[in-house]
Chains A and B, each alone.
Chain A
């Protein structure tokens, strides 16, 4: 009798979770190696257009970012629906772009100051007027190398 009773007590054996930390660490290392740190929170809509003839932006340390797009829903009441420029964490006017570039340039090491690229991350619904103003400002401070950041894809998808 006692022999059978014992067996009933044991129930299901616990699943061995000893290797769980290893698995999670593996995931962790994967994400640490393939991702980069976010540098600023986006306050604007930023759906980039597609392009097929792209070049990769190597070397993050020599890139200055400028975001353009309509403010996201939580900022619409404050800033309206028209596309705006975002520099670092703030909304800005086109006239502030020049100062921002000079400021960012001064922060970089001496030897990189002449090889900086300005990456324009512009929402596909923005108008060229604003972009032209930015380009004019960039020319004023002699930041001539620009990169229109895009997604990889067929450029004709933009037209729809």
Chain B
């Protein structure tokens, strides 16, 4: 009889090479990023059927010129103060119908957060990064106010609520509950950010 030991072992020496090959393939073909950004809605191209008359005091005008300077309500404003200005405008509650506003109730400023509109205009030569900073500050102003209300009503940040609501892993029953809360806060401070077509700069 010839020797009968265990069956011969499979040579696994090249296994590491194969695994490295796969690893390198995945490293090259994939990217690690998860995309995040500022969500915005563009206005529809058809103008609304009925012309809505908006009072001048309910519009908060922001103009960016090609050098990245800001003109807010006909005043030159530093970009760092934009968020506070926007918050003061939205939270003003001039006509006294807004029960949750904590603003100054200045009759010269917006009547109610649901009527307040922020209008953003920019030059064709404005740098994109400046534009994003301004967008970020304006969205930030809304988020700050919404967070305040969400803290008061639900003891939680609005951004937190919304993130959980949008997360596909949240379970459907919980989602229904969150949807209502998110909707309620959004109705308190609806995001009305209008973007006019760019002025052709010179």
Contacts and interface: CB of A to CB of B under 8 A. Distances in A.
B46 to A, nearest CB: 10
Please classify the interface of chain A as helix (H, G, I), strand (E, B), loop, or mixed, using the class held by over half of its residues. mixed
Interface of A: 17-18, 20-21, 24-25, 27-28, 31-32, 34-38, 49-59, 63, 117, 119, 122-129, 131-132, 135-136, 138-140, 142-150, 152, 155-156, 158-159
A124 to B, nearest CB: 4
A-B pairs, 4 with minimum CB distance: A129-B124, A35-B30, A158-B129, A124-B129
Contact of A148 (B37, B45, B123, B127): B37
Given A128-B125, A148-B40, 13 more contacts: A20-B15, A28-B26, A35-B30, A37-B29, A51-B132, A53-B143, A125-B127, A128-B127, A145-B39, A147-B35, A155-B137, A158-B130, A159-B133
Interface in B90-144: 122-133, 135-137, 139-140, 143
Contacts of B129: 49, 124-125, 158-159
A146 B143 CA distance: 18
Interface string B150-183: 0000000001001100111000000000000000
Contacts of B126: 127-128
B32 interface: yes
